[in-house]
């Protein structure tokens, strides 16, 4: 059956209905019609927006939005505002609305006639497969999975319920993708790890990579990211992990639950990253080290050794953030400090 993915129209509801969804309190008119979400500086009549950061408070008085979701503890001039909904956390409430919109972004419309699905594949209910996508032998695809155009899924792959694969994704053989996952365009899951052994002639001989990749539930992987299969065993991306665009995760790496990794990070082979970590952009982590739970790593940090739980790191090589900031004050003044030391040496030499 020929099909296309369709963007669904915006929702339609009143301020009163929105307040009920968000469990908030209306200040102003409650029967105004609302149609879509918008940034506060761009909002127009019929739009919903929010303010949670005091820096954006001036926009609360200038916005043309029909309603603004506002933190209940935020101080504002009630004589200058239009319709608002007071909630405990405006950012979380707006995020909830974004998720509601996103749930209806695509609808299932079947299997495209130009797709290729092996006869041994087990398809769940309401699966959509885009044109020029292929699914190899002995794969299992869960319910409500959306596989968009030009996706390649090799043999023996398992994909859980409600997962979404954007155009151009490549899933190599024997990979496991959990439920409620989102994999963005041009990701590669299960490519060979970077394994080579030099022989007596100095030539590098490829080390076969015969493991796989296991991706847990509720994982999101940004576009153009690559997760290598294990040499032996599995590369593991645990439940709730969020990976940005352009991230490289090497063979046999293990990422703990609910860890977030920003763009352009590289994690070398067999490194183990704990749960609930926050890794900033362009961080480099060498192989065969262990990073504990709840660790925060600032952008462009280079991590070369094991890290204990709850650490906050900065710099290359990585060091405690507070130590780095104190040391950086001296570094900026290093030329002056050196001059002062030389002056003291000359002064002492003259005294002697």
Q: Does domain 13-103 correspond to CATH entry 3.40.50.1000? A: no
When the candidates are 3.30.43.10, 2.160.10.10, 3.30.70.3190, 3.40.50.300, the CATH number that belongs to 172-317 is: 2.160.10.10
Residue length, the chain? Answer: 352
pLDDT for 207 equals: 94
Kind of pairing between the strands at 272-273 and 84-87: unpaired
Predicted structure pTM score: 0.80
Kind of pairing between the strands at 212-215 and 176-177: parallel
Annotated active-site residue in 108, 112, 184, 251: 251
The rounded distance, in Å, linking the Cα atoms of 193 and 281 is 22
Burial code of 106-116, b = ≥16 C-beta within 10 A, e = fewer? eeebebbeebe
Helices (H), the chain: 15-22, 57-62, 90-103, 321-332, 334-351
Residue ranges covered by each domain of the chain: 13-103, 172-317
pLDDT for 12 equals: 81
> Tens of pLDDT along the chain (352 residues)?
334 333 334 568 899 999 999 999 999 999 999 988 898 999 999 999 999 888 888 999 999 999 999 998 888 888 888 999 999 999 999 888 887 776 656 666 799 999 999 999 999 999 999 999 999 999 999 999 999 999 999 999 999 999 999 999 999 999 999 999 999 999 999 999 999 999 999 999 999 999 999 999 999 999 999 999 999 999 999 999 999 999 999 999 999 999 999 999 999 999 999 999 999 999 999 999 999 999 999 999 999 999 999 999 998 878 788 888 887 777 778 888 888 888 888 888 777 6
Whether 251 is catalytic is yes
Domains 13-103 and 172-317 share a fold: no
| Strand ordering across the sheet containing 290-291 | 122-123, 140-141, 158-159, 176-177, 212-215, 234-237, 254-255, 272-273, 290-291
Cis peptide leading into residue 317 (ω within 30°): yes
pLDDT for 10 equals: 55
């Amino acid at each position: 059956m020929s099909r296309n993915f369709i963007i669904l129209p915006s929702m339609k509801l009143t301020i009163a209905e929105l307040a009920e969804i968000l469990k908030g309190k209306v200040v102003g008119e409650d029967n105004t019609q609302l149609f879509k979400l918008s940034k506060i500086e761009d909002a127009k009549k019929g739009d919903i927006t929010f303010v949670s950061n005091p820096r954006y408070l001036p926009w609360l008085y200038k916005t043309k939005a029909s309603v603004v979701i506002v933190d209940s503890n935020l101080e504002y001039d009630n004589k200058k505002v239009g319709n608002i909904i007071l909630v405990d956390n405006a950012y979380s409430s707006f995020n909830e609305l974004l998720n509601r919109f996103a749930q209806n972004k695509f609808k299932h419309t079947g299997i495209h006639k130009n797709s290729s699905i092996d006869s041994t594949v087990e398809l769940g209910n309401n699966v959509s497969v885009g044109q020029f996508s292929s699914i190899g032998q002995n794969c299992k695809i869960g319910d409500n999975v959306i596989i968009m155009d030009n996706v390649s899924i090799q043999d023996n792959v398992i994909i859980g319920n409600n997962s979404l694969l954007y155009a151009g994704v490549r899933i190599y053989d024997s990979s496991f993708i959990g439920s409620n996952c989102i994999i963005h365009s041009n990701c590669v899951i299960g490519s060979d790890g970077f394994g080579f052994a030099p022989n007596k002639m100095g030539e590098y001989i490829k080390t076969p990579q015969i493991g796989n990749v296991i991706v847990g539930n509720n994982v999101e992987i940004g576009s153009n990211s690559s997760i290598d299969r294990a040499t032996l065993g599995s590369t593991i991306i645990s439940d709730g992990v969020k990976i940005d665009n352009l991230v490289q995760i090497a063979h046999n790496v293990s990422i703990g639950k609910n860890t977030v990794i920003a763009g352009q990070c590289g994690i070398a082979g067999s490194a183990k990253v704990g749960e609930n970590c926050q890794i900033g952009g362009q961080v480099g982590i060498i192989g065969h080290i262990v990073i504990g739970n709840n660790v925060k790593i600032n952008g462009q940090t280079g991590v070369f050794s094991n890290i204990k739980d709850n650490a906050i790191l900065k710099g290359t090589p990585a060091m405690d953030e507070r130590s780095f900031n104190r040391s950086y004050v001296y570094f900026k003044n290093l030329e002056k400090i050196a001059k002062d030391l030389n002056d003291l040496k000359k002064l002492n030499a003259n005294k002697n």
